[in-house]
Structure formats: C-alpha cells, structure tokens
Amino acid sequence: MQKNEYILLLGADQYLRERAFSGAKQAVDLPVWAATEDPVRTLNRTFDHMLSADPKDADSLLRAIRGHAAQGRHPRVVVPLNDWTVDAANTVNRTLGLGGLDATAVTNARNKHAMKQALLAAGVRTPRSRLVRSEPELLDAVEDIGLPVVIKPYDFGGSGGVVLATTREEAVAGLAESKGVIARYGTAFNILGDKYLVEQFVDSDDEVSVEVLCGAGRAQVLAVTEKYLSPRPWFAELAHLVPSHRTGDRALTDLAERACTALGIDRGLAHVEIKFGADGTPWVIEVAARPGGDGIMDQVERAYALNPYQLHVGSYLGADLLDVVAAAVPVRTSAIAFLKAAPGRIEDVLDGKPLPPEVRSINISAKPGDLSRAAQNWSTREGLIELEWDELFGEKTQLPVAVARELADQIFVTGEAAGQ
C-alpha cells in the first residue's frame, strides 16, 4: 500500500494559533492534521483532516493514529504547540520512532520543580524555591526563602494561581487562592496541581520572554519580547511587544540559550521567561518547550517577516535551522495588548468607533452582563488589540498598555463594582 504521510499539529486548532497551519505548510509539503475529541462538533476546516482523539492524551492519539495506519496514512511527526500537548506529542513520537523530545526534557519543561533543579544544576540563574503541599510546609519554606515570596502551582500556566506574598498571612491566603484556581481549572487542563512552589521574589516589573530555537546541545535566540505586567499581587500579562529594546543584550540571550540546553530541549522553539532584578541581573523564571502563546508568535512573524511556526515544525522534522534564526532581523514593531474593563458588571459594549492607525486588529470577547474583575491571569481579559509601528523602539514604550486602556475605557461601560 502506498504510504501517505501527514504532519499532526497538537494545540494548533485554537484562537491565536492559526498561523501554525501556514508555518507547517511552509516547512513541508504534506497534509496538516489536527486532533480534537469531537471532530463532528468542533470541525476546523483549515486543517486537511481532524483526527478524532484527545490531543492531551498519548494513548488516545496512538489509537486514532493506528486506525489511520491501517489505511496507509502515517504521521511524519507530531508537533506540540502548547504546554498541555508537549508530553502527549513527544510520547507518540518516541513510541512510533519519529524522534521527539526525551522524557526527561518533557518533565523538565512541564514540572516547575524539576525545571528549577535542572537549571540550578547547570548553573543557570533562577530564583531559589521550595516545593510545598500544606500550610505548615509553606510556612517552613517562607522561613527558609525569606519574604516576599511568589507562590504558584508547579504544573499550571497562564499565570493562574501565581501570587505574591509579602507577609506570612498573605502567604497563607496566597496558597489558599492558588489551590482555589486549581480546583476550578485543574481538570480541564489535565494537571495535578497537588504541589506548589514557594519562590524567592525577583523584585521589579522588568520582564521579557525569549523565543529560542533548540538543537542537540545548541540553541539560538530568535526574538526577545517585552512583557507588560498587571499591578501586584498578581502577574497577569497585559501586553507583549516585539522586538524588545533588549534584543541585542548578550547576557540575556546567552542565559536564555543556556536555560534551554540545561533542560535538554533539543528541538523546536522554546519560550523562556526572564525577569530582571532591581540591579538589572536577569533571572530565568521558567522555560516552556513550545512556541510562546498569547499571540506572541504572530507579533514575531510581523516584526521579523518570518513565520516562527515554520522553524518549529521544520526543527521537529529534523532540519537544522539555527543559522536561519541567527540571520533574522526585525523590520518593524508589533504588539498585542489585552483589553481590561473597569471592575464591575459590564452594562454595555460600544464598539465601532474609528480606531487609532497603529491598531491592526481588535477582538472583544466580553458582552453586556459579564462581570469584570481585576487583572489576575488569562481568564480576566475582555478582549485584545494588536498594534504595529514602522519604527523599532530604543527603550520600553508604554504605548501598548496606554492604547489598550484608552480603548477599553471607550468601549466598556461598567456599572457598580461588584464584590470580587
């Protein structure tokens, strides 16, 4: 029987991941498939086929893949695009002899405790941390690490349950809050959330994320993204701008590359989050073994005129693209910023007015009747805008958050602030 191959993308059939399809097509001339548990109710017509399987579950994927293998259709490689599919994609790749990240690299990238141990063992600067389950363990860790501390689930994302505590009382309340977030979302994201990290706090609002293309024992930075954070005690992401004015900072890019090799990530794009201490020292907060989320890849594509998913998929296919990455230069600035309504019940949504010329797209997700809460994590957003400028900024501009705030104030009519 003739062998018909396809590329399977996991986590690509999502809002703000649409460009993964085009990137895969640029990487290789093969049909591009996605996977979903219910392809009848959630058919995505962009893809050449939707595999009927849970993209987070390797067994479910293997069953569906083997069903098609009987008809002569085989995956060339399975490529993960979000945290929830990194393990499943690479387990399938290894099981079918298609390559893939080794199991230790996956654990290092998905379990923040294992990640910290691997980073520290390789001499990569990252905040000291302790793993806790209970309140007594928490207080013991606070004693050891010293206040202030950051408390976070060891296996979640989207800043969900990440809280700053400046006192022991705030630490106790913070752990309870973090456990509450896991109780609400844990099952949907297939995470355990049974342990929490207590971390030394890197005290500044200066933060970047770095997209790094990985190879065997090597890594090359593609882009540095400036991040804009919400007011404390939370760390919700309000905006991302590419390229950061720190793009040429060697201490920063070296640290990002060393973080990836320390974790054993040997293929694909990795997303490294780095925060600067008050003295400017860069600290690795975390590393994800997949391209950045939140539409950051689309900003990288506009800023560099290069689809980063092409590199991610190409690397999973075995191509060495580190030189392509090293030669990439930004040609414009691109940003995404999240719309935040004033806290309270949203009474009206007034869209349709002319938008500033730098606004390239707008998407309003909130509707009248919704409750707007303070920015805490990905779930407290009311929409987003994307912006574009021909110039490259030489310092951190506040334009993304300023334009988003102005538009949100115009668009959302909020009533009396309801209790949180």
Residues of this chain that bind ligand ATP (CB under 6 A): 127, 150, 152, 156-160, 162, 199-202, 207, 229, 235, 237, 273, 275, 285-286
Instruction: Closer to Mg ion by CB, 177 or 273: give it.
Output: 273
Contact 298, 340 (CB under 8 A): no
Angle formed by the axes of helices 83-95 and 103-110, to 10°? 170
Instruction: Closer to ligand ATP by CB, 200 or 414: give it.
Output: 200
Instruction: Say how many Å lie between the first and final Cα of the chain, rounded.
Output: 61
Instruction: Closer to ligand ATP by CB, 162 or 411: give it.
Output: 162
Q: Which does 202 bind (CB under 5 to 8 A by kind): ligand ATP, Mg ion, none?
A: ligand ATP
Minimum Å distance from CB 280 to ligand ATP? 15
Cα–Cα dist 194/162, whole Å = 14
Minimum Å distance from CB 286 to Mg ion? 5
Q: Which does 118 bind (CB under 5 to 8 A by kind): ligand ATP, Mg ion, none?
A: none
Instruction: Closer to ligand ATP by CB, 93 or 273: give it.
Output: 273
Q: Which residues of 33-45 are buried (b: 16+ CB within 10 A; e: fewer)?
A: bbbbeebeeeeee
Minimum Å distance from CB 49 to ligand ATP? 30
**Could you tell me whether strands 269-276 and 359-364 are parallel, antiparallel, or unpaired per DSSP bridges?**
unpaired
Minimum Å distance from CB 299 to ligand ATP? 16
Identify the H or E element spanning 198. strand 196-200
What does R_g of the chain's alpha carbons equal in angstroms?
21
Contact 192, 186 (CB under 8 A): yes
Instruction: Closer to ligand ATP by CB, 127 or 400: give it.
Output: 127
Minimum Å distance from CB 162 to ligand ATP? 4
Minimum Å distance from CB 147 to ligand ATP? 12
Instruction: Closer to Mg ion by CB, 177 or 286: give it.
Output: 286
Contact 414, 341 (CB under 8 A): yes
Cα–Cα dist 226/243, whole Å = 7
Q: Which stretch binds Mg ion (CB under 5 A): 4-12, 79-87, 283-291, 329-337?
A: 283-291
Residue nearest ligand ATP by beta-carbon distance: 235
Instruction: Closer to ligand ATP by CB, 94 or 179: give it.
Output: 179
Candidates 271, 200, 197, 186; CA nearest to 237 is 271
Candidates 291, 254, 267; CA nearest to 216 is 267
Residue type, 419: G
Q: Which does 150 bind (CB under 5 to 8 A by kind): Mg ion, ligand ATP, none?
A: ligand ATP
DSSP, res 24: H
Q: Which stretch binds Mg ion (CB under 5 A): 13-21, 193-201, 270-278, 406-414?
A: 270-278
Minimum Å distance from CB 329 to Mg ion? 27
Q: Which stretch binds Mg ion (CB under 5 A): 134-142, 273-281, 322-330, 362-370?
A: 273-281
Minimum Å distance from CB 119 to ligand ATP? 12
Identify the H or E element spanning 87. helix 83-95
DSSP, res 380: G
Contact 378, 295 (CB under 8 A): no
Instruction: Closer to ligand ATP by CB, 257 or 273: give it.
Output: 273
Residue type, 55: P
Which residues contact Mg ion by CB under 5 A? 273, 286
